[in-house]
A and B are shown apart, each in its own frame.
Chain A
Amino acid sequence: MDILVCMKLISVRRFADQIPSDSPAGCMKNRDLTANPADLTALEAALRLRDAEGSGRVTVMAMAPASAEPVLRRCLAMGADAALHLCDMRFAGADTIATAGALRAAVGLLPPQELILCGQKSLDSSTGHVGAQLAWLLGRPFLPDVLRLEKSGAALTMTCAADGATAVIQAAPPLLLSLRASPELVRSPTIPGLRRGLRADIRRITAGDLPFRPEGSSRTRTLTTAEHPFPPRGGRLLSDGPAAAEVLAAILKGGSEP
């Protein structure tokens, strides 16, 4: 089974600027882009499926600036078979619809992929929309909120979070699934993997390679952004024990804080 994993790269520069160089996290200062955690969960799920099956290819696809290349190489080092890099200034600033449109066009360049996996939400904008939109544009059955994924015969069994319940669902490919970020461990690159990752060719795709015009494809515009660091709330100490339990019970019932 050939599996395509869509990966979003998150810019951490906004936060990295606030890290002093001499702090233990100082090495993060030079970091620009990092892989979205839920997308790494999707990659791990894809690699496990491939390894269990013993056949098929896992391709990673990202629409990201040139500086994303090390992250894609790391995905190759983890075990992905190929990487596709949609890299063109004309893709910059794409909203979810424009992103889904470009990804759909890029999927058309690949041999048929039985399974397409996305992370459910990105760490930065967390819309959870691109997976659903890509599925719609490709005309594929779509399932969000997937927590686990297993092969069962020709079909796949998905465990999903559904409104107050966990659903176990079976379906046969072709499918598009969005996976929730999982705290389960994502594998690290191996030494042979790193060697392969460093040598591999990453397929660069520009807007000109796609039957899709990125210009004017965004349907929303961001007008302003403003930062809101968490306001401290004081953390007033309440004596422990039954008295505190009484106070808390009153607050839970709608009483105001004493």
Chain B
Amino acid sequence: MSGFWLVLGEPCPASLSLVSACRTLAEERGLRLCVLRIAPEPAPAEISVLAAAGAAHVVQIRGDLGDFNALRPVTERLAALVRERSPAAVIFENSGPLAAVGPSLAAALDCGITADCTGLRWDVELGLIQIRPAFGDWLTAENCSLTLPCLASVRPNVLRGEHPQNFSAEIPVEMLDTERGEAHFRLLRLLRTDGDEPGLDKAELIFSGGLGMGAAGSFALLHELAALTGGAVGASRAAVAAGLASGARQVGQTGTVVRPRVYVAFGISGAVQHMSGIMGAGTIIAVNTDPHAAIRAFSDLFICCDCVGFAEQLRDVLKKEKPL
């Protein structure tokens, strides 16, 4: 039975739901879902979790994608595996350090790849149809692959399958090593900016600040909200330009396109470039002093008040409910 492969980094709850969604897709075509997990160390405890979510086979590939020299050896290992086993499709979770592996693999195999898909479905003639947004989320395009395997990366948190289902926990597991990459890149410093905050692309809750937050210090308040709820902090382009937040936090068309369950915008006016990056959010809540702010029409709820004062009130409510 040919394979339907899903490549993950360290699995998080969103990845498990992607595993389940891929299992369904695989079964529709009688394919076997194989999860390839790329991580520095094998994690035996994760196998049963992946199996419960729908993996029929797990391949653990030892490779540290946090090391910038690992891209080439990891890609070469994957390319060799694809040539050896000819899977029908290889899907990547488009997140963090994995983002460069998909396109590199496509180049190594001279195969097509569709980036950042928000949907996948089978077509009788064309195979796996890859649905992806373009121009922020203004357009949706449907692609098909002209080569096999079909390669695609999927946006985190979008393809959601039911899990856990009653899949067998007894699944084959393989362990593969990769070569050490040539040491081109030397890490001088790693500045943890987020503590334990999830990445913006995977976060369920996002607290974003705009110019209305006034000063860089008030972003600390957003980090407090994130810490209290397990969310992440984002920023508008204007806030980044004003030095209130680092560029890595920028949400929107030129930053990160996000899809949280709840997006709270503090003092963000709602430029098109920002809005197109948050249209996939479940609930959008805007806090702004300007009752005519552009963001209002595109938000579900609008709170018209000073955003710093409101963030403090929200923090106090959250703290009261969940003492630190």
Contact = CB atoms under 8 A, between A and B. Distances in A.
Interface of A: 14, 37-38, 95-97, 100, 121, 123-130, 132-133, 135-137, 141-145, 147, 157, 161-172, 175, 180-184, 218-230, 232-238, 240-242, 244-249, 251-254, 257
B151 to A, nearest CB: 9
Nearest to A133: B107
A168 B297 contact: no
A163 B276 CA distance: 22
Contacts of A14: 135
B188 A219 contact: no
A183 B138 contact: no
Interface in B232-254: 237-238, 240-241, 246-248, 250, 253-254
Contact of B134 (A125, A164, A183, A247): A125
A82 to B, nearest CB: 26
B298 A233 contact: yes
Contacts of B231: 252
B190 A162 contact: yes
Interface residues of B, number: 99
B241 A132 contact: no
Given A123-B253, A219-B110, A219-B145, 7 more contacts: A164-B197, A168-B189, A221-B144, A237-B304, A238-B302, A248-B285, A251-B285
15 contacts: A96-B103, A126-B253, A129-B106, A132-B107, A141-B185, A143-B68, A164-B192, A167-B190, A170-B185, A183-B250, A221-B144, A223-B129, A224-B141, A228-B133, A228-B139
Contacts of B296: 235
B138 A220 contact: no
A240 to B, nearest CB: 4
Contacts of B189: 167-168
Contacts of B257: 126
Contacts of B81: none
Nearest to A258: B301
Contacts of B135: 14, 123-124
A242 B96 contact: no
Contacts of A172: 184
Nearest to B196: A164
A157 B138 CA distance: 36
B143 A147 contact: no
Nearest to A37: B254
Q: Which 7 A-B pairs have the closest CB atoms?
A: A219-B112, A183-B241, A240-B305, A220-B112, A127-B115, A161-B248, A129-B103
Contact of A232 (B133, B145, B297): B297
Interface string B268-307: 0000000110010001111000010001111111111100
B200 to A, nearest CB: 9
A166 B100 CA distance: 17
B147 interface: yes
Contacts of B303: 237-238, 240, 244, 248
A234 B297 CA distance: 5
B111 to A, nearest CB: 6
Nearest to B278: A230
Contact of A133 (B104, B134, B142): B104
Nearest to A169: B185
Contacts of B298: 230, 232-233, 235
A97 B107 contact: yes
Interface stretch (B51-59, B212-220, B309-317): B309-317
A96 B129 contact: no
A222 B143 contact: yes
